[in-house]
Amino acid sequence: MLDRTTRINALYDFYQELLTEKQRSYMEMYYLEDFSLGEISETSNVSRQAIYDNIRRTEQMLEEYEQKLGLYQKFLVRQSLLKEISEIADERNDEQLKMKIEAIIEIE
Amino acid sequence: MLDRTTRINALYDFYQELLTEKQRSYMEMYYLEDFSLGEISETSNVSRQAIYDNIRRTEQMLEEYEQKLGLYQKFLVRQSLLKEISEIADERNDEQLKMKIEAIIEIE
């Protein structure tokens, strides 16, 4: 369950711009602020079931975007390789190299 | 005009999975195979105007995706930094580092 939440949060980071404002609002309350469905229902004046459906549908959309664009998967592979390069830079005590690697990591 | 075409081709590389099959078909005939609108019209049995509208709308969508996700822009910045790291690896004659950089470039 924690793994599932971590994954949804990561996918949300990559694809939130492709969601509607309402979808983002529910996702942030549920996943980032840890509100219960009942609490979101009260806050939003929308039925608990409708919010549940919206969140589940949004999760599906995030998985579909990931299937199409694979941004999270590419990110993980790239981070792992950058970590290895970073370790080489540490071993070599190469400050110039370290700075460039930091700059690439910040783009993600 | 060449710059415009280069940009649309690049955006198409990043976001084609988010387009419909019909959109991809017209874009590939027009941009990759260099068919004229008239030729696509004949091949597809669809009016020249409808194809023109579809392609223009698809170009807009590609720009909207880029505005939201910025994959092409991030790619350019990342490539530029990787090139700098690659040059450092060349100067240092560091084969291990070169291999890791190649691996990151291949993910793109």
3-class secondary-structure state, position B64? helix
Each domain of chain B, given as residue ranges in start order, spans 2-69, 73-107
* Per-position DSSP letters for A43-59, written without gaps between them: HHTS-HHHHHHHHHHHH
B77 with A107: Cβ contact below 8 A = yes
**Complex ipTM value:** 0.86
> How close A100 comes to chain B (CA, Å)?
7
Residues of chain A neighbouring B17 (CB-CB closer than 8 A) = 68-69
B45-102 pLDDT tens trace:
999 999 999 999 999 999 999 999 999 999 999 999 999 999 988 988 888 888 888 8
Q: Is A95 exposed, middle or buried (0-12, 13-18, 19+ CB in 10 A)?
A: exposed
pTM of the full structure: 0.89
As a whole number of angstroms, the distance between CA A35 and CA A39 comes to 6
Q: Which CATH architecture has domain B2-69?
A: Orthogonal Bundle (1.10)
